[in-house]
């Protein structure tokens, strides 16, 4: 939801900033801009509508050699994508430039006040009020001007600002929206997330709420909003540069689909002791505490919510606990009945999603213990939860979640097994069967990835269709939901995911020969029921593409197309079946000429409600 960057060092800021923005483009891509400050204080601002390809062209004739600057790639909230609304924003005199990610909630009131005092606005954005506030508050000290201005601001922000009279300084701050500070050799970086400056440094500080940082050529200082110095730990992130680049693949999404076996293996690493007992380090729950648990509540959005839906089947089966799975935006605005007997599991790739974060805060306020399942190290949810389980998928740049979904599933499996062992609710035989199967699951995932040619043939057959229905039962149901979400978000085809047994209560009316039905029909305890549902679909003339277990001789007889997965434990099939659905969505979207890494209207991290 917008990406911001800042650079102060010895290199050409224009180039460093642009490279950083390229790596943040997944956060927003409807317009972009940057500001480079010359040593004498001249601010050169460029703003373009469109993605960074448009910006690259404009930059060819943007002749600056300053070594200080800020940049932004936008996902519009206030004001349409236009040159006027693109960041950086400036004050009346053009002395200040500012980039912002977040929402200034009281901007209407602030704008009215500023206009009354004679300020003239040139955009419809909430951000511009900050440029004008800094203009009023500035007298030689940019950090102080930013602090004073932020006192007036309600809402969320990660901001970076420069001033013509402080040409060798950047002041930045954050509240709710993420901001990371990177330390190079005589150079400093600011960014919404680490990959922006990964080629230059891995030494970072994850800034905290209400931190204000001032950088100049002598170094950087961090204070709170009152100006009191605060100390933050410098940490070394272990993400490789390769993981933030396409590495020969056409798109990040495709690369990330192929990275899944490795990502899953990484998430499983060190999760079992030498007696094959599952370890979930950060939970540190005693047997008594586990026995006292009355319920699990999962809170998440989008794909992460689908991982939560799957978690319900796993927690119920192995930990024998009632589970509720909540869409975070619905969870937060209710009269919640959550107590200290509940374990709340918040799932989020980014660790920044506003609704999920709000759900965490509410659950903790009500006394529940919250464990966050998160991919981004150091993200806000990791600071605001009682426990953290990392998905270890590495940076996910494609807007559509893929490898973070399968690693979230792994975390659901690990957590439910862990609770099941503590509570004595999973049998030894089942436990060991799952643990053994987890060892070989990455290899089986690789095998599924090997059949992309078959998926491509199916995509060729169906890519012109206007509607798809995805059906599944049991653990296949959340996968059907996820398959439909993947297809609609990157190919813009209308798709619905449905529990197969529910189809005859309504959606069956949609079916005809032009509506392909994707059926998850692996060899599991609901297989026979699924076959009945497939027959019902066939009887309405709709073509059926089944995702089935290798060796199933029956399914080929009744379905138009079949994509195979190796046999596995019933509860682990989702790790295999979803790969075909991700590939199908990818191939269909490519055939329709869609930009899979940057689907329209979307952003990777949703830091607004
Ligand atoms: C879909 C997708 C989104 C996210 C959702 C939650 O492919 O990526 O639906 O899953 O926006 O984001 P996180 O997981 O960062 O909280």
Percent of the chain with pLDDT over 90: 80
Q: What is the pLDDT of residue 30?
A: 84
Name the residue with the closest Cα to ligand 1, atom 3.
302
273 C-alpha vs ligand 1 centroid, how far in Å?
32
Give the span between the Cα atoms of 222 and 364, in whole angstroms: 28
39 C-alpha vs ligand 1 centroid, how far in Å?
42
30 C-alpha vs ligand 1 centroid, how far in Å?
19
Fold (CATH) for 3-237: 3.60.20
Q: Where are the domains of the chain?
A: 3-237, 252-448, 452-591
pTM of the model: 0.81
87-114 pLDDT per residue, tens = 999 999 999 999 999 889 899 999 999 9
- DSSP letter assigned to residue 146: H
22-39 pLDDT per residue, tens = 988 877 778 999 999 999
Q: What is the pLDDT of residue 68?
A: 97
Percent of the chain with pLDDT over 70: 99
Q: Which 3-state string (H, E, C) describes 513-567?
A: CCCCEEEEECCCCCHHHHHHHHHHHHHCCCCEEEEEECCCCCHHHHCCEEEEECC
607 C-alpha vs ligand 1 centroid, how far in Å?
11
Beta carbon of 301 within 6 Å of any ligand 1 atom: yes
Q: What is the pLDDT of residue 126?
A: 92
Same fold, 3-237 and 252-448: no
Burial of 110 (0-12, 13-18, 19+ CB in 10 A): buried
59 C-alpha vs ligand 1 centroid, how far in Å?
32
Name the residue with the closest Cα to ligand 1, atom 5.
302
Give the span between the Cα atoms of 281 and 303, in whole angstroms: 25
Residues 520, 480 contacting (CB under 8 angstroms): yes
The structure tokens listed for 491 are: 């190919």
Terminal alpha carbon distance of the chain: 11
Give the H/E segment covering residue 70. Answer: strand 68-74
Q: How many residues belong to the chain?
A: 609
Beta carbon of 304 within 6 Å of any ligand 1 atom: yes
Please list the residues that pair with 68 across neighbouring strands.
8, 37
pLDDT-based confidence at 174, cuts 50/70/90?
A: very high
The CATH classification number of 452-591 equals 3.40.50.10490
495-520 pLDDT per residue, tens = 999 999 999 899 899 999 999 999 99
Say if residue 523's pLDDT is above 90.
yes
Catalytic residues: 2, 604
Beta carbon of 401 within 6 Å of any ligand 1 atom: yes
265-275 mean pLDDT: 92
3-state SS assignment for residue 217: coil
Q: What are phi and psi of 349, to 5 degrees?
A: -60, -55
Say if residue 247's pLDDT is above 80.
no
Q: How many CB atoms lie within 10 A of CB 83?
A: 12
3-state SS assignment for residue 96: strand
Nearest alpha carbon to residue 538 among 511, 565, 561: 511
Q: In what order do the strands lie in the sheet with 494-499?
A: 494-499, 467-472, 517-521, 544-549, 561-565
Q: What separation in angstroms does the CA of 260 have from each of 267, 408, 454, 478?
A: 10, 11, 19, 18
pLDDT, the chain, mean: 93
Q: What is the pLDDT of residue 80?
A: 80
Beta carbon of 303 within 6 Å of any ligand 1 atom: yes
Burial of 509 (0-12, 13-18, 19+ CB in 10 A): exposed
Beta carbon of 356 within 6 Å of any ligand 1 atom: yes
Longest dimension (CA), the chain: 79
pLDDT-based confidence at 65, cuts 50/70/90?
A: confident
Say if residue 606's pLDDT is above 80.
no
* Choice between 77 and 410, residue whose per-residue pLDDT is larger: 410
52-76 mean pLDDT: 90
128-137 helix and 142-151 helix, angle to the nearest 10 degrees? 120
The structure tokens listed for 237 are: 């992130």
3-state SS assignment for residue 463: coil
Q: What is the pLDDT of residue 243?
A: 67
Name the residue with the closest Cα to ligand 1, atom 4.
302
Say if residue 244's pLDDT is above 80.
no
Q: In what order do the strands lie in the sheet with 295-300?
A: 323-327, 295-300, 342-348, 369-374, 387-390
The CATH classification number of 252-448 equals 3.40.50.10490
Which of 114-137 are b and which e, b meaning 16 or more Cβ less than 10 Å from the residue's Cβ? beeeebebebebbbbbbbbbbbeb
Beta carbon of 348 within 6 Å of any ligand 1 atom: yes
Q: Which atom of ligand 1 is nearest to the CA of 305?
A: 10
CA 60 to chain centre: 32
3-state SS assignment for residue 432: helix
* Mutation choice for ligand 1 from 307, 349, 351, CB with most ligand atoms inside 8 A: 349
Q: What is the pLDDT of residue 1?
A: 65
* Choice between 124 and 604, residue whose per-residue pLDDT is larger: 124
227-238 pLDDT per residue, tens = 999 999 999 987
Beta carbon of 198 within 6 Å of any ligand 1 atom: no
């Amino acid at each position: 939801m917008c990406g911001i960057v800042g650079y102060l060092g010895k290199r050409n800021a224009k180039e460093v900033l642009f490279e950083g923005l390229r790596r943040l483009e997944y956060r927003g891509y409807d317009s972009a801009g940057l500001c480079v400050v010359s040593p004498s204080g001249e601010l050169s601002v460029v703003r373009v509508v469109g993605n960074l390809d448009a910006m690259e062209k404009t930059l060819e004739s943007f002749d600056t050699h300053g070594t200080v600057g800020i940049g932004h790639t936008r996902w519009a909230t206030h004001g349409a994508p236009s040159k006027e609304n693109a960041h950086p924003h400036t004050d009346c005199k053009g002395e200040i430039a500012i980039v912002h990610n977040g929402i200034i909630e009281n901007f209407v009131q602030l704008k009215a006040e500023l206009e009354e005092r004679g300020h003239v606005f040139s955009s419809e954005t909430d951000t511009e009020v900050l440029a004008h506030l800094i203009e009023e508050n500035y007298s030689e000290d940019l950090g102080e001007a930013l602090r004073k201005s932020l006192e007036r601001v309600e809402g969320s922000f990660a901001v970076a600002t420069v001033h013509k009279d402080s040409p060798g300084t950047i002041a930045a701050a954050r509240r709710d929206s993420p901001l990371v500070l990177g330390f190079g050799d005589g150079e400093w970086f600011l960014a919404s997330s680490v990959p922006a400056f990964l080629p230059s440094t891995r030494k970072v500080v994850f800034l905290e709420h209400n931190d204000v940082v001032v950088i100049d050529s002598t170094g950087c200082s961090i204070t709170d909003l009152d100006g009191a110095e605060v100390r933050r730990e410098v940490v070394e992130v272990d993400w490789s540069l390769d993981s933030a680049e396409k590495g020969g693949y056409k798109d990040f999404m495709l690369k990330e689909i192929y990275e899944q076996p490795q990502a899953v293996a990484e998430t499983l690493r060190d999760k079992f002791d030498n007696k094959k007992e599952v370890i979930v380090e950060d939970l540190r729950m005693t047997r008594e505490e586990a026995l006292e648990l009355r319920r699990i509540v999962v809170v998440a959005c989008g794909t992460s919510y689908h991982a939560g839906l799957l978690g319900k089947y796993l927690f119920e089966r192995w930990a024998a606990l009632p589970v509720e799975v909540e869409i975070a935006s619905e969870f937060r605005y209710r009269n919640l009945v959550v107590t200290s007997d509940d374990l709340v599991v918040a799932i989020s790739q980014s660790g920044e999603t506003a609704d999920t974060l709000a759900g965490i805060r509410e659950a903790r306020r009500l006394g529940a213990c919250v464990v966050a399942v998160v991919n981004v190290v150091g993200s806000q949810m990791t600071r605001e939860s009682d426990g953290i389980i990392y998905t270890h998928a590495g940076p996910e740049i494609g807007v559509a979640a893929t490898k973070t979904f399968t690693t979230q599933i792994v975390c659901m499996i690990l957590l439910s097994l862990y609770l099941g062992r503590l509570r004595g609710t999973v049998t030894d035989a089942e436990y060991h069967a799952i643990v053994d199967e987890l060892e070989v699951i990455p290899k089986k995932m690789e095998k599924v990835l090997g059949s992309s040619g078959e998926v491509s043939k199916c995509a060729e057959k169906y890519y012109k269709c206007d509607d798809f229905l995805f059906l599944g039962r049991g653990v296949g149901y959340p996968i059907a939901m996820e398959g439909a979400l993947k297809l609609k978000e990157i190919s813009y085809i209308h798709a619905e995911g449905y529990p197969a047994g529910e189809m005859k209560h309504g959606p069956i009316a949609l079916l005809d020969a032009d509506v392909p039905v994707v059926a998850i029909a692996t060899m599991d305890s609901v297989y026979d029921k699924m076959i009945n549902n497939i027959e019902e679909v066939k009887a309405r003339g709709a073509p059926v593409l089944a995702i089935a277990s290798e060796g199933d001789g029956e399914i080929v007889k009744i379905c138009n197309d079949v994509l195979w997965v190796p046999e596995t434990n019933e509860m682990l099939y989702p790790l295999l079946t979803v790969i075909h659905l991700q590939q199908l969505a990818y191939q269909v979207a490519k055939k329709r000429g869609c930009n899979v890494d940057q689907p329209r209207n979307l952003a990777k991290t949703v830091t607004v409600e």
